[in-house]
Amino acid sequence: MSQTATQPIVAASDVDKTYRMGEIQVPVLRSVGLEIAEGRFVAIMGPSGSGKSTLLHVLSGLDAPDRGRVLLEGHDVYALKDRARTLLRRDRIGFVFQFFNLVPNLTVTENILLPAMIQGQDPSERPPELATLIERFRLTGQADRFPHQISGGEMQRVSIARALFSQPRIIMADEPTGNISSRAGQEVMELLRACRDERGQTILLVTHNPRDAAFADRVHFLKDGEIAAHTTLEDDAVNEARILDCLKELDV
Ligand SMILES: Nc1ncnc2c1ncn2[C@@H]1O[C@H](COP(=O)(O)OP(=O)(O)OP(=O)(O)O)[C@@H](O)[C@H]1O
Ligand SMILES: [Mg+2]
């Protein structure tokens, strides 16, 4: 299927997901439907255990739902063969995680280059965009250090720089500010928003933090595995208050 201007870049319909552990079944997602237009910044909020990370994994092609369909750029993700699904995920999505997932024995620069290397780029090449990115993320002094030699905020900037370097159309971030200071978190959010504003990348953010969610255009609230509400945000000044209202109304 080819992509048209009106087609959402990510679409899920009727998604159910239950984890099975022997006899025990844990229903996590129930009839979840979601459409994300290209170039949007969307946040997913909800209490711990409400299924946010699971939803992100299902949307990204990492974890098949029991029922329902996920379309990424119009491709029916779970109808693809494993290899094609892996390639689609690899080429289209950049991931940012709470625990950074940097490779400990690679330097900052090498970590940023890693996805591009996996896509076949020669690691000895240092394209000019790399230097620009490192400077932009204020990592110039850290470029040749290893992850254990830099701060948490710096690690998170490295992981976002890595997610950006290969220019994926979609960035999925799961609690990217969970382990850094609020000031570093604000910077991370600004960088994510810049990706959307300057390059039109689509951002899908999972967060507990209303201040982070206020950077999004739209917030979906998950409760007991269902999308219980969503709100569209316009004006920054009122965003955080609106998000807090929604959370209160949903009793989460
Ligand atoms: N691999 C798994 N096997 C069994 N149960 C799982 C598995 N992964 C998650 N769960 C359960 O599914 C539910 C949803 O988990 P998920 O990680 O999606 O929640 P979350 O909203 O991201 O929570 P948090 O905010 O704490 O990260 C939880 O009850 C969790 O214990
Ligand atoms: Mg989670």
Q: Among 21, 24, 53, name the best residue to mutate to test ligand 1's pocket (greatest count of ligand atoms within 8 A of Cβ).
A: 53
Is 216 within a domain?
yes
Q: Which residues surround ligand 2, an ion (CB under 5 A)?
A: 53
pLDDT tens-digit map of 76-129: 999 999 999 999 998 899 988 877 789 999 999 999 998 888 777 776 777 788
Residue 4 belongs to some domain of the structure: no
185 in Cβ contact with 177 (< 8 Å): yes
DSSP helix/strand/coil, 215 = coil
Q: Does residue 111 belong to any structural domain of this protein?
A: yes
Give residue-wise pLDDT tens across range 2-49. Answer: 545 578 999 999 999 999 988 999 999 999 999 999 999 999 999 888
Residue 145 lies in a domain: yes
- Cβ of 131 closer than 6 Å to ligand 1, yes or no, is no
Cα 76 to ligand 2 centroid, rounded to whole Å: 24
Residue 93 lies inside a defined structural domain of this protein: yes
| Domain contains 1 | no
Answer whether residue 5 is part of any domain.
Answer: no
* More confident site: 123 or 170: 170
Contact 141, 192 (CB under 8 A): no
Count of domains forming the chain: 1
CATH of the domain at 129: 3.40.50.300
- pLDDT-based confidence at residue 179 (cuts at 50, 70, 90): confident
Q: Residue 224: what pLDDT?
A: 86
Query: Range of 129's domain?
Result: 10-250
Is 187 contained in some domain? Answer: yes
Give the global pTM.
Answer: 0.87
Residues 235-251: tens digit of each pLDDT: 665 577 777 877 787 77
Q: Based on the number of CB atoms within 10 Å of its own CB, is 192 exposed (0-12), middle (13-18) or buried (19 or more)? A: buried
